[in-house]
Copies of this chain bind each other. A is one copy, B any other.
Amino acid sequence: MKYVTELECIDCGEIYAPEPERYLCESCDDEGLLEVKLDYERLAVEWSREELSSDPRGNMWRYGPLIPVKPGTPRPRLEVGSTSLYHAPGLAKELGLENLIIKNEGLNPTGSLKDRASAVAVVKAQEAGRHAVACSSTGNAATSLAGNAASLDEDMEAVIFVPERVPGGKLAQLLIYGAVVVSVQDNYEKAYNLSAESIDRWGWYNRNAAINPYLVEGKKTCVLEMAEQLDFEMPDWLVFSVGDGCTIAGAWKACKDLREIGFIDKTPRLLGVQAEGCAPITRSFRTGEPLEVTSEDTIADSIAVGRPRNYKKALMAVKNSGGTMVNVTDEEIMEMMTLLGSRTGIFGEPAGVAGLAGLRREAAEGEISRDDDIAFVVTGNGLKDIDNARRAASEPLEVSPDIEELRQIFEQRGIIKEDE
């Protein structure tokens, strides 16, 4: 916390002390989102790229001076971060581009970028003196919270509220991590409300990225890490899928931090991609009108957020970066799952590859130039959503155990050529 100065309301500018349980701005009727402010001047003097490069830690905590947690608070043992960055010339060519790099966040310990936020959450929970941390989610936020809490040496219960119809796979992951999973026999809204009431009543730490200002600071480490992996030469465009808006807000916060402390000169433009079946932020971005709550009709469940609480930070991020937003269909997302998999060996979940579908659109329409340097982040592992992967993929070749039959099928498909 050495370089954290205060929390500032992004609506009214009210200032708060950086207490671990300060979530929202009181002056804005507990609706105003807060942003963590850092002492950039002091950071620029006291920290350097050289010092960073000599840090032996191969995880997100190497960016400690920019993360609002106390140095002495125990960290989860899961090694969050240090995910691979790939050059993808084959895929770039398919999209009519020259230089595409991909960061695979699906390789985080519980399989998504959300580990970065949850790692911060379980540290802040300890700083708040809490022994339980809660959220309502059916997805990556919940599983990452459960996994990171489990990996702490200290006692920390993860309490997860899920609606009745949570998919079996994600439920399994939560239960294996030993979380207290409360299945609310009703819809998501009711599960959320019960979680809010419970957090209030039993004083658990609140891991809700939309209102907890510290979690964006965890998410930003994805882009801090990417910058270091690129020797601080940022790309022209940085592509993210967008759900509640926290991830792309974190991406921009990272760019801002790095520029202010002199680690980078150029910040990238952000391309935010939503699913057509749930695109309230894109709509607001394009029309300039206030956000309207929408339905949630897409296979990309991790970005299906009809009432995104963090849309203001997301809109500011895209606008301030000089970027843009675009929507894609579920068909495009499924097509990109197989294109990404077959050209790079990376298996992303639908929300994780939605950004790639948006990139293809913008490249085809000339919004993004062939010779721009582009970085795209796969936010979650495809193994988390096997059902949609199965829908996206082709069918296997069905044959009898007979090599002549196989030969015929292979020849028809052009897999082999025989002179017989």
CB-defined contacts of A386 to chain B, threshold 8 Å:
168-169, 172-173, 386
A298, CB-defined interface residue at 8 Å: no
- Quick one: which of A149, A151, A343 has the most chain B CB within 10 A? A151
Interface string of A82-126 (1 = CB under 8 A from B): 101011111000000000000010010111000000000000000
Q: In whole angstroms, what is the CA distance A343 to B178 when docked?
A: 8
Interface residues of A in 363-393 (CB under 8 A from B): 381-384, 386, 389-390, 392-393
Instruction: Assess whether A178 is in contact with B341, with CB atoms less than 8 Å apart.
Output: yes
Do A197 and B400 form a contact, CB below 8 Å, given A107-B109, A390-B168?
Answer: no
Instruction: Assess whether B182 is in contact with A396, with CB atoms less than 8 Å apart.
Output: yes
Q: Which stretch in A73-81, A218-226, A264-272 binds the other chain?
A: A73-81
CB distance from A195 to the nearest CB of B (A): 10
Interface residues of A in 188-246 (CB under 8 A from B): 190-191, 193-194, 197-198, 201-202
A347, CB-defined interface residue at 8 Å: yes
> Top 8 closest A-B pairs, CB basis?
A178-B342, A151-B345, A175-B393, A176-B341, A181-B396, A383-B383, A147-B345, A190-B401
CB distance from A134 to the nearest CB of B (A): 11
A45, CB-defined interface residue at 8 Å: no
Residues in A lying within 8 Å of B, measured CB to CB = 58, 76-79, 82, 84, 86-90, 104, 107, 109-111, 146-151, 153, 157, 159, 162, 168-169, 171-178, 180-186, 190-191, 193-194, 197-198, 201-202, 337-338, 341-347, 381-384, 386, 389-390, 392-403, 406, 410, 413, 415-416
B107, B150, B162, B194: the one contacting A396 at CB < 8 Å is B162
Q: In whole angstroms, what is the CA distance A396 to B162 when docked?
A: 9
CB-defined contacts of A346 to chain B, threshold 8 Å:
78, 109, 151
CB-defined contacts of A181 to chain B, threshold 8 Å:
396-397
Sample (9) of A-B pairs whose CB atoms are under 8 Å apart? A77-B88, A107-B107, A148-B345, A172-B393, A182-B406, A190-B401, A194-B401, A198-B403, A381-B383
CB distance from A106 to the nearest CB of B (A): 9
In this complex, what residue of B is CB-closest to A111? B383
Instruction: Assess whether B401 is in contact with A191, with CB atoms less than 8 Å apart.
Output: yes
Q: In whole angstroms, what is the CA distance A284 to B100 when docked?
A: 53
B153, B397, B398: the one contacting A90 at CB < 8 Å is B153
CB-defined contacts of A202 to chain B, threshold 8 Å:
410, 416
In this complex, what residue of B is CB-closest to A157? B415
Do A201 and B403 form a contact, CB below 8 Å, given A182-B397, A341-B178?
Answer: yes
Q: In whole angstroms, what is the CA distance A171 to B104 when docked?
A: 22
In this complex, what residue of B is CB-closest to A86? B77
In the complex, besides A157-B415, A176-B382, A178-B338, 5 extra interface pairs with C-beta distance below 8 angstroms are A78-B84, A147-B347, A159-B415, A183-B399, A194-B399
Instruction: Assess whether B399 is in contact with A177, with CB atoms less than 8 Å apart.
Output: no
- Quick one: which of A107, A157, A183, A396 has the most chain B CB within 10 A? A396
Do A176 and B397 form a contact, CB below 8 Å, given A109-B345, A403-B198?
Answer: no
Instruction: Assess whether A345 is in contact with B172, with CB atoms less than 8 Å apart.
Output: no
B110, B345, B390: the one contacting A76 at CB < 8 Å is B345
Instruction: Assess whether A183 is in contact with B398, with CB atoms less than 8 Å apart.
Output: yes
Q: In whole angstroms, what is the CA distance A58 to B225 when docked?
A: 15
In this complex, what residue of B is CB-closest to A167? B386
